[in-house]
A and B are shown apart, each in its own frame.
Chain A
Amino acid sequence: MSENKKLQLPEGIYKIEKSIFIAAPREKVFEAITDSEHWNKYFTTGMELDPRPGGVCNFKWKNWGPDLDNHESPGHVLEIDPPRRFAFEWGRPGEKTTAQLDLKTKHDGTVLSLFEDGYLETAEGLKSILECSAHWGELLALIKFYVEDGITYRSPEVGVAN
């Protein structure tokens, strides 16, 4: 894809849209979502990310979350426009989706907006997008608190009981 081409995402029901406010400048949020070392602190385990068009964007989880997930989702960068947009394609062959993260300055902070499309309009596609939609809600909150408060994600085996 050419660097100048804007993403044209089709209209449809099977898409995810979600925004969150983060009390930090766009540059700081952009850095947190385009650097694998940051991702590995709030969401992934062993993420690989080469933040330029065509670069790898491989998500990996090891013993992650309440179900101790071991999972990989390979992808590549579609567009990177600091500090306004980061877009990537990911998923297994035949199930690829496109995620676009837009950053807008609002007052003293940033509104981070996710748009994801490309899910199959089938019963399986609906199950898949439902699962991803809940995860995006979770992920945007994880990004928010990582950037605002420096909170890193703890999986259960390292959790501390109150």
Chain B
Amino acid sequence: MTELLDCKIKQRTFIAASPEKVYDTITSAKSWDEFFTTGMELDPQPGGVCSFSWKDWGPDHYTLKVPGKVIEANRPELFVFRWGSEGRETTIRIELTIADKGTVVTLSEDGYKDTPKGRAMILECASGWGEAMTLLKFYMEHGIVYNSAINTASI
């Protein structure tokens, strides 16, 4: 059996909004679709669906569906889900802590396999989460909606 990598993705992001507002945003499929995904499905309760979809997304034109399910949903502190294709699931933990005039979002992800593919995947996902948390930040602070049509420049 393949060992798991003894390291995780970690990204901390400050958002100038209350933990409740951040929690409500990251547990709403409609919100995810405004800053990151295309056709997200999310039922924010333990065991509920948490499937990420992208359609022709970003400069690399991602079209991808990653199925997942909610593990823990504890407003406004913690949202945990497990996603990935069968046999390759990883766990994402998003913790919200109150900070001076806002919230610090701490995202971590682990469960990647210690294989060349697992290492390549964890590196790609790390930059993806850094980007996604910054998109979340500016969506909440400035109301910036990620415009897929513009951002894929596929018109």
A4 touches B (CB below 8 Å): no
Contact A130-B104, Cβ < 8 Å, known A20-B131, A141-B134, A161-B16: no
- A145 and B144 within 8 A (CB): yes
* Mask of A7-34 contacts with B, CB within 8 angstroms, 1/0: 0000001111111110100000000000
Please report the total number of B residues contacting A with Cβ < 8 Å: 48
* Mask of B86-115 contacts with A, CB within 8 angstroms, 1/0: 000000000000011110100000000000
- B150 and A23 within 8 A (CB): yes
Give min CB distance, B68 to chain A, whole Å.
Answer: 20
Can you report 20 residue pairs joining A to B where beta carbons are below 8 Å apart?
A14-B123, A19-B58, A20-B131, A106-B59, A123-B6, A126-B5, A127-B7, A130-B7, A131-B126, A133-B126, A137-B132, A138-B134, A139-B130, A154-B16, A159-B99, A159-B101, A160-B16, A160-B101, A162-B16, A162-B18
Interface size bucket, A side?
Answer: 35 or more
- A126 and B7 within 8 A (CB): yes
B27 touches A (CB below 8 Å): no
Give min CB distance, A100 to chain B, whole Å.
Answer: 15
Complex CA distance for A14 and B8, rounded to whole angstroms = 15
- A140 and B14 within 8 A (CB): no
Contact A161-B17, Cβ < 8 Å, known A13-B116, A141-B138: yes
A46 touches B (CB below 8 Å): no
Residues of A within 8 A of B (CB): 13-21, 23, 65-67, 106-109, 111, 113, 123, 126-127, 129-131, 133-142, 145, 149, 151, 154-157, 159-162
In-complex Cβ contact of A149 among B13, B17, B127, B144 (8 A): B144
B13 contact set on A, CB distance < 8 A: 66, 138
Give min CB distance, B50 to chain A, whole Å.
Answer: 21
B133 touches A (CB below 8 Å): yes
- B138 and A162 within 8 A (CB): no
- A137 and B129 within 8 A (CB): yes
Closest to B129 in A: A134
- B131 and A140 within 8 A (CB): yes
B120 contact set on A, CB distance < 8 A: 13
- A19 and B129 within 8 A (CB): no
- B58 and A20 within 8 A (CB): yes
B116 contact set on A, CB distance < 8 A: 13
